[in-house]
A and B are shown apart, each in its own frame.
Chain A
């Protein structure tokens, strides 16, 4: 029974990683950059929903919507101000800028909310689910997280595969010049990608803060790195890869913590990543190009 409980919380944590990893992988696929400030957008999402519920006394659903709106706007602004001027710059310059944006957001949060941790009250206050005569208890936040994960991943897959803008995003990620020759505005597509990724980061921030209810300005860093790992694990640039990588990473982390060692759980996660990359350098679902001439 324990195993099933661990598995469920692994899937729950993995869903959060997957939601964050989707932001990394979409931005990488389209703008060919690693947005290391992505984790800090999660943190902003957590704080904004905290302010909305604790200080402004707004209902949970509204606070989530505000967090999504703020982070989406933030993502668009970051892209416009920090990354767009570097579109033609070497990738190292972009990477360093991303790290700079990350520190900027952390320090802005430090100024606004101070370094004192804030305790976050979970937005999901209904009773935990008790199964099998109370032998298996699933926390409300776990249920909400898994369901949200499924909804986010399904919706995003539909957007990417079925809508005009989603297809344009795939076209830009495959060949930017050819996409422009089709009449696709590359800048607009990149902006939309950042908007979607940052909106997802806000959702992840709320879920994360509900599960681990301490807010600090650096709270986004570790989940950010883990989700980045998940994206690489699944094959960076690949959307199903980010989903699979995220969930596997969450499950490995929780099972590792439960059965092997609490202290070593992160080391186990990264070792698995290294092994996967040694065997399959493009990640689990990394793109292989099938080209016929």
Chain B
């Protein structure tokens, strides 16, 4: 579904992503794990089109999306829920969701809205409220709901558990699992490697812009080096 081949991304003269290749197959949850600064978010931003990729190729559903403007990538069925949620704080909950469905025709967007409200009844209760007044957990739900509004076939989630209380983290991961079971393919970036590997099918481990290992999630969970570095022993 998504095929990333040998991409290099630079911030000015800093070589942030060094020749990374990975792929995501239909129906999977794939996770990229690694320490802060390993290049995880950079990779997602490159796939979403927000960052320029100097070399390599990115293919989505067999089509190259390298160099495509971010707003056009969304309408191809690839949505991203960015790091730090980035919801529109001064707009209402419902307006945020409407923006998520921007690429959809009105009727389709209305149906998406019903689906998202079914999944997140909490958002429906607060639909008229300004998004900035939501709690952290609710904001994350809104960010995910907003990304779902475009009905993506592949959803990229960047640090969805960041800054949330443990009980909310469990809730968010349960939602991710559910989304996947209902047919959405997921590419997940997380610092909480244990949680990420517990829901994922496969994982890639990143270190300073390189992939150092890749395997099925259960193998990585039991890998000594991974346990030491990312799972607390």
Instruction: Say whether B88 contacts A171, CB under 8 Å.
Output: yes
How far does the alpha carbon of A291 sit from the alpha carbon of B131 in the complex, in Å? 9
Contact check: which of A171, A186, A287, A292 meets B99 at CB < 8 Å? A171
Instruction: Say whether B82 contacts A182, CB under 8 Å.
Output: no
The answer, yes or no, to whether A184 is at the interface (CB within 8 Å) is: yes
Q: Smallest CB–CB gap between A290 and chain B, Å? A: 4
Of B3-11, B30-38, B90-98, B204-212, the one touching chain A: B90-98
| Known contacts A177-B50, A292-B136, A293-B163: A182-B91 contact under CB 8 Å | no
The answer, yes or no, to whether B107 is at the interface (CB within 8 Å) is: no
| Known contacts A290-B130, A292-B133: A179-B89 contact under CB 8 Å | no
Q: Which residues of B contact A164 (CB under 8 A)?
A: 98, 102
Can you name the residue of chain A whose Cβ is closest to the Cβ of B143? A178
**Number of B positions contacting A (CB below 8 A):** 35
Instruction: Say whether A183 contacts B80, CB under 8 Å.
Output: no
How far does the alpha carbon of A181 sit from the alpha carbon of B134 in the complex, in Å? 21
**Number of A positions contacting B (CB below 8 A):** 23
Q: Mark A150-186, 1 if CB is under 8 A from B, else 0.
A: 0000000000000010011011001101111111111
How far does the alpha carbon of A293 sit from the alpha carbon of B85 in the complex, in Å? 10
Q: Which residues of B contact A177 (CB under 8 A)?
A: 50, 70, 82, 86
Q: Mark B2-30, 1 if CB is under 8 A from A, else 0.
A: 00000000000000000000000000000
How far does the alpha carbon of A184 sit from the alpha carbon of B86 in the complex, in Å? 15
Which chain B residues in 61-95 approach chain A with CB under 8 Å? 69-72, 74-75, 79-80, 82, 86-91, 95
Query: Footprint of B on A, CB under 8 Å?
Result: 164, 167-168, 170-171, 174-175, 177-186, 287, 289-293
Q: Which 9 A-B pairs have the closest CB atoms?
A: A183-B103, A183-B74, A178-B86, A180-B70, A290-B132, A182-B99, A183-B102, A185-B71, A183-B71
